[in-house]
Amino acid sequence: MSRDRLLAAILAAILIVGAAASVPALVFLSLSVGTAAILGRIWASLGAQNLVHAHSTPGSRCLVGEVANVQIRVDNPTPLPLPWVEISDPLPDPGFQLTAGPFGAEWVGLSVRTGLGWFERLRRTYQFTARRRGYYQIGPASVRVWDPLGLSFVDRGFDDRLDITVLPIMVPLDELGIAAEHPFGDPQRDRWLFKDPLSVAGARPYQSGDPMTSIHWPATAAAGTMMTRVHEGTRIPELSLFLNVTTMPVSWYGLVPELLELSITTTASVADHALHRGFAVGLYSNGSLVKRTPEDSARPIRIEPSASPGHLTDILEALAKTSDHGREPIENTITRYIDPDDYGVHTVLVTPLITPGLGDVLGDLVHRNVPLTVLYTGDPPTPPVPEGTDIYSLGGRRRWETLANR
């Protein structure tokens, strides 16, 4: 039985007893308390319905090790004072850790118990430290508002969420054990031909995997079948990054977090290196982006090549939100997105393991003269790869411990 029903039952019993025994005091007591409870319930309902709760922060992105200030705002925009308000605000994952609050560093938690006067505003600022890369949410909060007599309360949930993205670590390539000055080719020297999205040379039949933005609609209407634009060439060098998030030969064996984090840091570092040297960088992975809400579906990671100034941020955000399980074997992803006829597109694979299926695909790429570099992030020894494959062994878990403690 709920609190309100219990109170109503007690008051009804007192009323019946008072009326049966002809005791006016009991009748008056039950009616007065019942009236006060009804008015208090209306009071609490209006207060809870109009209460405003919001999170805010100066920026939605930060780096590992940085401190972010998060402000929580609670407003009572009504002329009704609320003597007792309880706000429950869950903390995010410990990767985005609360380290200081309005009551000192030893005080933890975002939940608030307070009273609010009419038209009163409450502001509290908390400090969070980014411990590891990831995608974090603060909120949504819920509130319980009591009536002035403490006889009943009203619960309400808020929709406000604060999204925080902690970007992955980036390091110079020599700290990963890649000492070559131009491990993926020199964009100033190599004169490769690539597709220019602004210049259309013709059309060809649609192939599985072609983006919808490349559909040539006039040619499609004329031919009666889907046609894709064929672009003229440009001199911008292109690099395709493939990230394998699978860390064990069999998925149900589990996950090696250190190898996944080393793979993501390696991918971020290679993207930064390539973009600063004039490459147009694309990112593809067999992983998926984490869900924003339970209703969202997991989205595959596919970022088309670009050399625009904000492209590195797009890649880092995708890597920060990468989930820890693979949607499919990485060789399927490579086969889907690599076009062996795009000569000069350098392919870089970051992987913590090399399975027989992946080895077969790498051998086929070498046979087709696709420029290929494999960055092996698994533990030594380095597994065998097809002859002609450039491979760097980065040291596995020991390398990640060094980077994480730098």
pLDDT in tens, 27-37: 666 766 667 77
Q: Which helix (H) or strand (E) holds 262?
A: helix 257-276
pLDDT of residue 75: 92
The pTM is what?
0.75
DSSP for 91-111, please give it: ---TTEEEEEBTTBTT-----
pLDDT band at 107 (very low <50, low <70, confident <90, very high): very low
pLDDT of residue 405: 81
Which DSSP letter does residue 265 get? Answer: H
pLDDT tens across 324-379, in order? 787 889 999 999 888 766 666 889 999 999 999 999 999 988 888 888 899 999 99
User: 396: which strand partners?
Assistant: none
Q: Helix, strand, coil % (nearest 5) of the chain?
A: 30, 30, 40
Mean of all residue pLDDT scores within the chain? 81
Residue 276 has pLDDT above 60, yes or no: yes
Residue 253 has pLDDT above 60, yes or no: yes
For residue 241, the one-letter residue type is: L
> 3-state DSSP call for residue 200?
strand
